[in-house]
Amino acid sequence: MHIASQACFPLAYGAARALRNCAMALVFATTAAAAEPQTLVALGDSLTAGYGLPPEEGFVPQLQNWLNAKGKDVTIINAGVSGDTTAGGLARLDWSLTPETDAMIVNLGGNDLLRGLDPASSRANLDAILSKASERDLPVLLVGLEAPSNYGPAFKQAFDAMYPELAEQYGADLDTNFFAPLTAELDIAAARQKYLQADGIHPSAEGVAVIVEAIGPQVEKLLERAAD
């Protein structure tokens, strides 16, 4: 605004020239502000961190490249920590969200699921994360997972429901199941063979590419929300 304020003073140039300079300065300032890159924080566990993959083939780098190819001027902060639970994500949320943060992806709950933690506890942690994001007026894309049936129907119902219900409560965008794109055209056995690493849990580089292609448009919409 320093440039604009100088141009708006008539001084000896006359009122007409001052108005022209003022208008040009305001346009320049608005354009410069609009051109500022966005910052997107990806808060998650090993699925976000890129466990088992070369650094350039993980979820965040592949999503970064996808968005760059779409002309998006955004920097994604990889706030994924392998082994983290929803409680761990909540514990480090405050320092993960830098002042420059414009939007956030939340992809947590997989380790809660693997450990059989009470879905009520997982839900409370995600609730707190979304609440803090809401306090900062940050748009969020909440990425869900689905519990297998071997945990029992009550566990599965509670776990699966927490993502859409919290997204609706906080007005967050929702990706219902991180792994769903892998079985869009293949059965589970074939998808596991083609798209997962040897551990049968984490996606391979090819699997990540399929996931990014599916989730990318939702991230684009998230960034558009953040720019409004």
8 A C-beta contact, residue 159 and residue 147: yes
202 is catalytic: yes
82 is catalytic: no
8 A C-beta contact, residue 123 and residue 116: no
Alpha-carbon span 71 to 68, nearest angstrom: 5
| DSSP strands (E only) in 62-204 | 74-80, 103-107, 140-143, 173-175
Of the residues 46, 84, 112, 122, only one is catalytic, namely 46
Of the residues 45, 112, 175, 202, only one is catalytic, namely 202
8 A C-beta contact, residue 164 and residue 109: no
Of the residues 94, 187, 199, 228, only one is catalytic, namely 199
Residue 220 is which amino acid? Answer: E
46 is catalytic: yes
Q: Which helix or strand (DSSP H or E) is residue 44 part of?
A: strand 38-44
- State the greatest distance between any 2 C-alpha atoms of the chain, in Å, as a whole number: 81
Please give the positions annotated as active site. Answer: 46, 199, 202
